[in-house]
Amino acid sequence: MPKMTFIDADGNRKEVDAPVGLSVLEIAHKNDLDLEGACEGSLACSTCHVVVDDKWFSKLDDATEEEEDMLDLAFGLTHTSRLGCQIKMTEELDGLEVTLPTGTRNMLLD
């Protein structure tokens, strides 16, 4: 089974099983990691914002315009920021590393 690593704001690393087909948000929740996901993955907020390690960013599918719009609302946005609900685990992403931002901005859109 693929693995991925979450890095918290303090630099602590947690490697977890990352089943193919699950989103980074779902994987975080299955492992009791602090990644909010206020809209439950419906692409209506930015609370599942993660920063993808540079070496993995180019392996992801491009963000949709809708995801880009939500990322504009994210706290601590970087050039490798993505929404965890939009990154689906694949075999090719085995070893993926993401960092959790130091905070979130909950601007849920209806």
State the pLDDT at residue 75.
Answer: 84
Does the residue 104 lie in any domain? no
Does the residue 109 lie in any domain? no
| Residue 81, domain extent | 3-99
State the pLDDT at residue 108.
Answer: 47
Does the residue 68 lie in any domain? yes
| Length of the chain as a residue count | 110
Continuous H helices in the chain: 24-30, 54-57, 65-71
Does the residue 107 lie in any domain? no
Tell me the CA distances in angstroms from 40 to 36, 85, 106, one per residue in order: 8, 8, 12
Rounded mean pLDDT for each run of 10 residues along the chain, 110 residues in total: 95 97 98 92 93 97 96 91 98 97 58
Does the residue 108 lie in any domain? no
Number of domains in the chain: 1
Does the residue 21 lie in any domain? yes
CATH of the domain at 22: 3.10.20.30
Provide the edge-to-edge strand list for the sheet that holds 49-52.
13-17, 3-7, 96-99, 49-52, 81-83
